[in-house]
């Protein structure tokens, strides 16, 4: 075979071995990289293969098997890239669908109402809670005018509210009364904003919060506050609200009688008007109330700018905040000055002689019991001195009872000057007086001497002339000078060896012995 024939034969074999475009595409589809290829990707791969095959058909004559394998490999890699992109897109779509479903769940099932209105204030969208609030189904709610659900008195508020949103472009808040188809009303807090949208006209997105319970609570608090002020403004007691340092926050109008306008008291120290002798005690009670939360009742004196004082009875209680901490102290006080005066009068009538203002028998008995108990503890003697004015009946008969009363009053004063503050001078009845002397000496003889000294003081004081001035509407003022003496009987006691009645009887008997012995004398019970 010639050389020319050999070259032609080799060329024919190469052309016969080289695949055409269809064969190339078929080969590409049979490669292992095409398994699982989607129909769309398969078409794209076949188109690409046909395109490349068409472009290179004329060059296939010169392609070697190695070049063909390389081209097929490139096609397989491109196929994998397309499949990965497709999987990413598929996963993104799944996530998007899940997010959209979750969004609608949140939107529809949220415990607040969501509602969208257009520029004509028609409802374009609403969630289930908004439909429930308004008392209609969602299908009926859409396309309804939102004003239809607003109470007539609040529609102007809503229009102004929408105007502010349009002018500012910022979120706005207001409270409205909405009305259901059955005419029932409820309060909502409306939060709204308008969001720009290039594809359509701007809409107002609203959030509806049912604040009916809050409004009811506010109304209850308002009613309580009005009730409190009604009581505070009309009650005779004094009501003060103080901070934890004792500064005034509120004072009822009743304080006007003490300080003028109660408004002037706001922010001032409440302790400055308390009597200096009572101030620290009141402060201590206030501190204990703040620390423990337990109010106490206390009686103290209020000292006013004019120098007068009033006896006050106050009770405190605390106000706590939402976290249970003490925030305020409420003090309710009443002026008990008159009550104290009346109590003192009753006490005077019960325990004091109305003429001489000396203790009467009842108070004497109480103090004698105390002196006897003290004597038992200390083992010291005490003494009862029974005293009777000499010839008092003669003065009464000649000068009258008015003069006799004046003598008794003056004699009481002189007797009190003869004993210590701790001792007692009592009017026993008529012209009889009893002096109760406590805490003498533990020795009876020394105690007797001490009582003798007191008796001498009494004789000396009573021996001074009594100048008694009388006057009446019918008669001019008259001055009477009178000299007086007394008979005194003494009974010593110690360690409760005798009863109270026995001691008084012994002293009375000793006094009669002094009278029998000539008057103006002292005699001791033996």
CA distances from 230 to 77, 103, 225, 348, 517 (A): 90, 53, 8, 40, 77
C-alpha 392/C-alpha 374 separation (Å) is 35
pLDDT at 16 over 50: no
**Taking Cα atoms as reference points, which of 251, 273, 426 lies closest to residue 330?**
251
Furthest C-alpha separation in the chain: 198
Residues 189/211, Cβ–Cβ less than 8 Å: yes
C-alpha 481/C-alpha 431 separation (Å) is 18
C-alpha 499/C-alpha 112 separation (Å) is 88
pLDDT, residue 476, reads 72
3-state secondary structure of 340: helix
pLDDT, one tens digit per residue, over 357-392 is 999 999 999 999 999 999 999 999 999 999 999 988
Supply the DSSP symbol for 126.
E
Hey, what domains does the chain have and what are their CATH numbers? 18-103 (no CATH), 110-210 (3.30.450.20), 220-340 (3.30.450.20), 352-524 (3.30.70.270)
Between 2 and 316, the more confident residue is 316
pLDDT averaged over every residue in the chain? 82
CB atoms within 10 A of CB 242: 22
Residue 492's pLDDT band, with cuts at 50, 70 and 90, is very high
Residue 236's pLDDT band, with cuts at 50, 70 and 90, is low
pLDDT, residue 284, reads 95
Residue 97's pLDDT band, with cuts at 50, 70 and 90, is low
Bridge partners of 139?
none
pLDDT, residue 436, reads 95
Between 232 and 385, the more confident residue is 385
pLDDT, one tens digit per residue, over 257-280 is 888 877 788 899 999 999 999 999
pLDDT, residue 370, reads 92
**Which has the minimum average pLDDT: 14-23, 109-118, 367-376, 418-427?**
14-23
Take residue 414 and report the two structure tokens written for it: 């002189």
C-alpha 165/C-alpha 126 separation (Å) is 19
Residue 58's pLDDT band, with cuts at 50, 70 and 90, is low
C-alpha 389/C-alpha 432 separation (Å) is 7
pLDDT, residue 17, reads 40
Q: What are the backbone angles phi and psi of residue 252, rounded to the nearest 5°?
A: -70, 160
Q: Is 507 exposed, middle or buried (0-12, 13-18, 19+ CB in 10 A)?
A: buried
Q: What are the backbone angles phi and psi of residue 107, rounded to the nearest 5°?
A: -65, -45
Residues 409/470, Cβ–Cβ less than 8 Å: no
Q: Please name the residue ranges forming H helices in 293-378.
A: 337-351, 361-378
**Taking Cα atoms as reference points, which of 288, 523, 261 lies closest to residue 383?**
523
Residues 438/422, Cβ–Cβ less than 8 Å: yes
Residue 400's pLDDT band, with cuts at 50, 70 and 90, is confident
Q: Residue range 406-418: average pLDDT?
A: 94
Q: Residue range 12-40: average pLDDT?
A: 43
* Whole-number percent of the chain with pLDDT over 70: 81
C-alpha 493/C-alpha 478 separation (Å) is 45
pLDDT, one tens digit per residue, over 159-212 is 998 888 888 888 889 999 999 989 888 898 989 988 776 667 788 889 988 888
C-alpha 157/C-alpha 361 separation (Å) is 83
pLDDT at 62 over 80: no
Residues 6 or more apart whose CB falls under 8 angstroms from that of 298 comprise: 281, 282, 285, 313, 314
Ramachandran region, residue 170 (left: φ > 0; alpha: ψ -120 to 50; beta: rest): beta
pLDDT, residue 46, reads 62
Does this model's pTM top 0.75? My answer is: no
pLDDT, residue 12, reads 42
C-alpha 514/C-alpha 459 separation (Å) is 13
**Taking Cα atoms as reference points, which of 361, 376, 498 lies closest to residue 436?**
361
């Amino acid at each position: 075979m010639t050389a020319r024939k050999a070259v032609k034969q080799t060329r024919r074999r190469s052309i016969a071995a080289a695949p055409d475009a269809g064969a190339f595409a078929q080969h590409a589809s049979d490669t292992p990289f095409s398994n699982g290829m989607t129909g769309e990707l398969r078409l794209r791969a076949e188109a690409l293969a046909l395109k490349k095959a068409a472009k290179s058909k004329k060059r296939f004559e010169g392609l070697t098997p190695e070049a063909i394998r390389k081209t097929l490999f490139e096609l397989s890699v491109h196929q994998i890239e397309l499949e990965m992109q497709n999987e990413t897109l598929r996963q993104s779509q799944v996530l998007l669908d899940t997010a959209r479903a979750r969004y609608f769940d949140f939107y529809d099932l949220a415990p607040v109402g969501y509602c969208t209105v257009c520029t004509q204030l028609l409802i374009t969208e609403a969630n289930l809670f908004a439909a429930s609030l308004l008392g209609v189904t969602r299908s009926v709610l859409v396309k309804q005018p939102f004003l239809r659900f607003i109470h007539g008195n609040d529609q102007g508020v809503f229009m102004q509210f929408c105007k502010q949103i349009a002018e500012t472009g910022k979120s706005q808040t207001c409270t409205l009364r909405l009305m259901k188809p059955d005419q029932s009303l409820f309060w909502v807090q409306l939060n709204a904003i308008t969001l720009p949208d290039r594809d359509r006209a701007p809409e107002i997105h609203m959030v509806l919060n049912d604040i009916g319970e809050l409004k009811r609570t506010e109304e209850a608090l308002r009613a309580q506050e009005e009730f409190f002020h009604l009581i505070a403004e009309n009650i005779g007691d004094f009501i003060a609200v103080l901070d934890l340092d004792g500064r005034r926050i509120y004072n009822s109008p009743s304080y006007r009688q003490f300080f003028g306008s109660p408004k002037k008291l706001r922010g001032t120290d409440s302790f400055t008007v308390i009597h200096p002798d009572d101030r620290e005690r009141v402060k201590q009670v206030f501190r204990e109330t703040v620390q423990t939360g337990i109010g106490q009742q206390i009686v103290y004196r209020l000292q006013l700018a004019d120098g007068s004082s009033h006896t006050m009875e106050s009770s405190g209680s605390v106000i706590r905040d939402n976290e249970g901490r003490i925030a305020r102290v409420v003090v309710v006080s009443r002026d008990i000055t008159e009550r104290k005066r009346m109590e003192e009068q009753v006490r005077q009538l019960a325990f004091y002689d109305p003429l001489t203002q000396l203790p009467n028998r009842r108070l004497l008995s109480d103090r004698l019991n105390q002196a006897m108990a003290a004597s038992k503890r200390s083992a010291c003697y005490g003494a009862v001195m029974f005293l009777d004015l000499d010839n008092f009946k003669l003065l009464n008969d000649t000068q009258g009872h008015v003069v006799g009363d004046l003598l008794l009053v003056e004699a009481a004063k002189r007797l009190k000057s003869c004993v210590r503050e701790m001792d007692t001078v009592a009017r026993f009845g008529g012209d009889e007086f009893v002096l109760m002397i406590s805490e003498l000496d533990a020795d009876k003889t020394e105690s007797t001497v001490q009582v003798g000294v007191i008796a001498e003081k009494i004789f000396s004081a009573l021996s001074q002339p009594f100048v008694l001035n009388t006057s009446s509407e019918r008669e001019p003022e008259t001055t009477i000078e009178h000299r007086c003496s007394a008979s005194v009987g003494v009974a010593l006691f110690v360690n409760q060896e005798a009863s109270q009645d026995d001691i008084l009887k012994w002293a009375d008997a000793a006094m009669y012995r002094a009278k029998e012995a000539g008057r103006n004398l002292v005699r001791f019970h033996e």
